[in-house]
Amino acid sequence: MNSNSNDDPSELERELSAFTLVKPTPGYATRAEELLVAQQETRRKFWLPYAGLATAALVLVAAVIGLPKLWEERTAIDNQLVDNSSFSIPEVTAQLQRSYESGVHYQELEPPIPLEEMTEDEIRYYFSYHCNPCYQFEEILEEWYEPELDEFSFIRIPAIWSDEMRHYAQVFFLAEEFGVLDRAHGLIFESLHESGERLDDLPSLIRFFSRLGISQPRVIAMFNSEEMMERVRETEQSNRDYSVQSTPMLVVNRRYMVQPNQEVGQTQMLRIAEYLVENQ
Amino acid sequence: MSKNRLLEELAAIFAQKQRQLYVAALAITRERSSAEDSVHDALLAIAALQQRPQNLEAYLYRTVRNKALHRLKHTNRFDRNINPGDFLDVQECSSSQKILANQVIERLSTLEENSRQTLIMKLFADLTFAEIANIMESSPNTAASWYHRSIEKLKEEMYEQQF
Fold of domain B3-73: Rna Polymerase Sigma Factor; Chain: A (1.10.1740)
pTM of the model: 0.56
Residue A48 is predicted with a pLDDT of 53
Supply the DSSP symbol for A106: B
Q: What is the average pLDDT across A248-261?
A: 93
* Percent of chain A clearing pLDDT 70 (strictly above): 74
Residue A33 is predicted with a pLDDT of 87
Whether A13 shows a pLDDT value over 80: the answer reads yes
Q: Looking at per-residue confidence, does A26 or A45 come out higher?
A: A26
Cβ-Cβ contacts under 8 Å, A13 against chain B: 123, 151
* Percent of chain B clearing pLDDT 90 (strictly above): 50
Q: Which tens digit of pLDDT belongs to each residue from A134-156?
A: 998 988 888 888 777 777 899 99
Please tell me if residue A19 touches chain B, with a CB cutoff of 8 Å.
Answer: yes
Three-class SS string for chain B?
CCHHHHHHHHHHHHHHHHHHHHHHHHHHHCCHHHHHHHHHHHHHHHHCCCCCCCCHHHHHHHHHHHHHHHHHHCCCHHHCCCCHHHCEECCCCCHHHHHHHHHHHHHHCCCCHHHHHHHHHHHHCCCCHHHHHHHHCCCHHHHHHHHHHHHHHHHHHHHHHHC
Q: Where do the CATH 1.10.10.10 domains begin and end in chain B?
A: 88-162
Please tell me if residue A51 touches chain B, with a CB cutoff of 8 Å.
Answer: no
CA distance A58 to A39: 10
Nearest-CB residue to A178 (from B14, B96, B104): B96
Asked whether the beta carbons of A109 and A257 are under 8 A apart, the reply is yes
Dump strand ranges (E) for chain A: 20-21, 107-108, 122-127, 153-158, 249-252, 256-258
Chain B residue with minimum CA distance to A227: B99
Residue A34 is predicted with a pLDDT of 87
Please tell me if residue A114 touches chain B, with a CB cutoff of 8 Å.
Answer: no
Q: Provide the residue type at B105 as one letter.
A: I
Yes or no, beta carbons of A20 and B95 under 8 Å apart: no
Residue A49: pLDDT band (50, 70, 90) is low
Average of per-residue pLDDT values in chain A: 79
Identify the top-confidence range among A87-91, A170-174, B111-115: A170-174
Give the number of other CB atoms < 10 A from CB of residue A179.
Answer: 14
Q: Which tens digit of pLDDT belongs to each residue from B79-107?
A: 556 777 889 988 788 888 888 888 888 88
Whether A10 shows a pLDDT value over 70: the answer reads no
Residue B158 is predicted with a pLDDT of 78
Yes or no, beta carbons of B160 and A2 under 8 Å apart: yes
ipTM of the shown complex: 0.88
Residue A47 is predicted with a pLDDT of 52
Q: Where do the CATH 1.10.1740 domains begin and end in chain B?
A: 3-73
Yes or no, beta carbons of A35 and B40 under 8 Å apart: yes
CATH of domain B88-162: 1.10.10.10
Q: Which tens digit of pLDDT belongs to each residue from B140-149?
A: 999 999 999 9
Residue A74 is predicted with a pLDDT of 36
Q: Which tens digit of pLDDT belongs to each residue from B3-43?
A: 788 899 999 999 999 999 999 999 999 999 999 999 999 99
